[in-house]
Amino acid sequence: MKHLPFVSRLLLATALWSSPSVPMAATGKVSLEGVKGEMRNSVEAWLSLDDEPCAAPGWRLQSRLDQATEEIAKALQAFGYYDPKISSTLDPGGKGGCWSAAFTIKLGPQVHLRNIDIALEGEGRDDEAFAKLLRKTPLKSGDPLRHDHYDAFRNSISRLAAERGYFRGRFTQRELRVDPGAAAADVYLHFDTGPRYRFGDIQIEQDAVSADLLQRYLEFHSGELYSRKALTDTSSALSGSGYFAMVLVEPLIDAATDARVPIRIRATPSRRHRYSASIGFTTDTGPRTGLGYRNQRINRSGHQFSSELSLSNVISKLTLGYSIPLQKPLTDQLKFEAGYKHEVTDSYRADTSALSTTWTRLRANQWLEERSLQLSREDYKVGSETSTTSFLLMPGIGWSRTFADHRLYPRRGLRVNFNTHGSLKQVLSDVSFLQLMADAKGVLGLPWRSRLIGRLNAGATVMDQFDQLPVSVRFFAGGDNSVRGYGYKSLGPKNADGEVEGGRNLLTGSLEVEHLLTAKWGLAVFVDSGNAFNDTDFNPSTGIGFGVRWRSPVGPIRVDIAHPLDKNGDLIRLHFVMGPDL
């Protein structure tokens, strides 16, 4: 095993340690002085002495002890220490009748990088991806020598060449020259990328949808420069379409001719009909159950039908939807919906029937645009007021974009949404209004496995007769994703009877610090503040609290205990939320 690199030894040691337990003989104890952290782990991974059982004969222990000095020296070379002083002692019959060994290590001078000679030849010399990689090299003159950094960077060059289609790429010089006497090391990495290949013929094997629809999912075309990312994105898009149970996008590199790589796509159809049942809980809506049905492929053009029934104490709704994929089916689609919603909160009761059409498309600037038109009939009642019926025809448009370094658990990310909609009294509506809304949520990584999470929600309504506005388009605050410590939609301006009736405007914000205690569990403290309001009567309500975070197999789960600052007594409220941060 001595010829294995440190990382391989460490992985092997970890695998053996974590394997299902089997009876093993007791082994002796090895103590190390003079190393810690990564170096200590490296030394422990290299040592073979600590595998010896207590009953090992003295001659073998002595042999292993002599061998251990060489193993320690080898492990330390990975960190640039080529002249360590290592002394050892062996007690063949230590505590409990088992041997023990102790090593004292003086590291000596550390080798530093001196000359760095990294060069590219071939077509990749003008490829920005290689230029970016070279700018981020961890090999800097004057830095301590780390063999793992050298190996990782060398491998990253080969890996990038394969990802970008430089299949003839090779190192013409690949050397790490170490001069222990001068405590210096020189790096020589010369890589000839050769030509960059292009995509060749595309072979498609599937019979679930039309060839035209499948072609619109492709992120590459024949004749374009090869990119493994384009293949991966295509595979993800096809897998997420709902049309296929299995997708294989395969470059036939061995069959490449004239620097063109044929691509073979194999896709097996998914089940046409899907049924679902769910049960869940959130603090805002309480216990809830749901039933769903989806026709994945109504026809070969990829049209889909869906229906969903959701029941809870607060919101119950039935939705029927029909969607048509457009030019870029992964993001662009036309959707028609019919639905009914029954909502009962501490502030109001509303029954809404609606018909809507929505056109979604991804713009060239990567913002997702959504244009909609909704016709609705709403019967609502605020507090003890008289029930009212309202008709609205609302056109709307919105834009959203999300930046994140990880889909479920970002260390750095931002989600931004803008939306506006309204109606005209003269056009199938009982009231004229214009509403503008914006919200943003950001995540910033902090030291010590912590994150800062901020959220801002704002809205404004322009109209003359606010009392005629249905409650579904009024602003309320309070709840899991608003101001924690307060009930769902329990905050806002009040009517003459002291009942919350909602407001023209909204402004809420939140700051939260989260810290991971383990790989899966963490704690958070937060402060939320804001309210719905009419004109200049903004009177924010504030809640503070702490929570538990669990990175579960199905996504983040957050449990918070919040206290409202503007209420008397030791009032607390429990909030339970499941879903990604952004």
Asked if the structure places residue 313 within a domain, the reply is: yes
Mean pLDDT of 66-77: 89
Cβ contacts of 128 within 8 Å, gap of 6 or more: none
374 vs 372: CA distance, rounded Å: 7
Asked if the structure places residue 1 within a domain, the reply is: no
Q: 176: domain range?
A: 112-192
Cβ contacts of 236 within 8 Å, gap of 6 or more: none
Co-location of 247 and 120 in the same domain: no
Reply yes or no on whether the pLDDT at 571 is more than 60. yes
Reply yes or no on whether the pLDDT at 438 is more than 90. yes
Cβ contacts of 41 within 8 Å, gap of 6 or more: 10
Co-location of 359 and 405 in the same domain: yes
Reply yes or no on whether the pLDDT at 500 is more than 50. yes
Asked if the structure places residue 69 within a domain, the reply is: yes
Report residue 31's pLDDT band, with 50, 70 and 90 as the boundaries: confident
pLDDT at residue number 25 = 59
Q: Which of 7-11, 169-173, 394-398, 493-497 has the lowest mean pLDDT?
A: 7-11
Co-location of 147 and 58 in the same domain: no
Q: Which of 21-35, 111-125, 190-204 has the lowest mean pLDDT?
A: 21-35
CATH number for position 209: 3.10.20.310
Cα separations in angstroms, 308 against 13, 36, 274, 432: 51, 57, 12, 31
Cβ contacts of 110 within 8 Å, gap of 6 or more: 79, 80, 81, 144, 145, 183
Report residue 94's pLDDT band, with 50, 70 and 90 as the boundaries: low
288 vs 279: CA distance, rounded Å: 6
- Choose one of 171, 192, 213: the last residue of a domain: 192
Co-location of 310 and 260 in the same domain: no
Co-location of 530 and 558 in the same domain: yes
| Beta bridge partners of residue 184, listed in sequence order | 112, 179
Q: HEC string of 151-199?
A: HHHHHHHHHHHHHHCCCCCEEEEEEEEEEHHHCEEEEEEEEECCCCCEE
Co-location of 30 and 161 in the same domain: no
228 vs 251: CA distance, rounded Å: 9
Mean pLDDT of 188-207: 95
Q: Which of 28-32, 108-112, 247-251, 530-534 has the lowest mean pLDDT?
A: 28-32
pTM of the predicted structure, to 2 decimals: 0.77
Longest pairwise C-alpha distance within the chain: 101
Domain count, the chain: 4
482 vs 530: CA distance, rounded Å: 8
pLDDT at residue number 537 = 84
In tens, the pLDDT along 306-352 reads 999 999 989 999 999 999 999 999 899 999 999 999 999 888 899 99
CATH number for position 323: 2.40.160.50
Co-location of 354 and 463 in the same domain: yes
Asked if the structure places residue 473 within a domain, the reply is: yes
Mean pLDDT of 52-65: 82
pLDDT at residue number 566 = 83
DSSP 487: -
Co-location of 333 and 250 in the same domain: no
In percent, the amount of the chain with pLDDT more than 70 equals 95
Asked if the structure places residue 225 within a domain, the reply is: yes
Reply yes or no on whether the pLDDT at 100 is more than 90. no
| Beta bridge partners of residue 361, listed in sequence order | 369
- DSSP, residue by residue, 348-384: EEEEEEEEEEEEEEE-TTS-EEEEEEEEEEEEEEETT
Reply yes or no on whether the pLDDT at 7 is more than 60. no
Asked if the structure places residue 130 within a domain, the reply is: yes
Residue closest to 352 by CA, chosen among 316, 322, 320, 398 = 316
Reply yes or no on whether the pLDDT at 284 is more than 90. no
Co-location of 241 and 225 in the same domain: yes
Asked if the structure places residue 428 within a domain, the reply is: yes
Co-location of 182 and 210 in the same domain: no
Co-location of 136 and 31 in the same domain: no
- Mean pLDDT, the chain, integer: 89
Report residue 496's pLDDT band, with 50, 70 and 90 as the boundaries: confident
Query: Do residues 187 and 118 lie in contact, with contact meaning Cβ atoms separated by under 8 Å?
Result: yes
Co-location of 456 and 511 in the same domain: yes
- Choose one of 57, 80, 106: the last residue of a domain: 106
pLDDT at residue number 179 = 93
Report residue 237's pLDDT band, with 50, 70 and 90 as the boundaries: very high
pLDDT at residue number 2 = 39
Mean pLDDT of 5-22: 40
Q: Which of 196-200, 221-225, 262-266, 386-390 has the lowest mean pLDDT?
A: 386-390
Asked if the structure places residue 310 within a domain, the reply is: yes
Residue closest to 396 by CA, chosen among 465, 471, 492, 473 = 473
- Choose one of 106, 122, 138: the last residue of a domain: 106
361 vs 372: CA distance, rounded Å: 12
Mean pLDDT of 546-554: 91
pLDDT at residue number 61 = 83
Say whether 227 sits in a helix, a strand or coil.
coil
Report residue 21's pLDDT band, with 50, 70 and 90 as the boundaries: very low
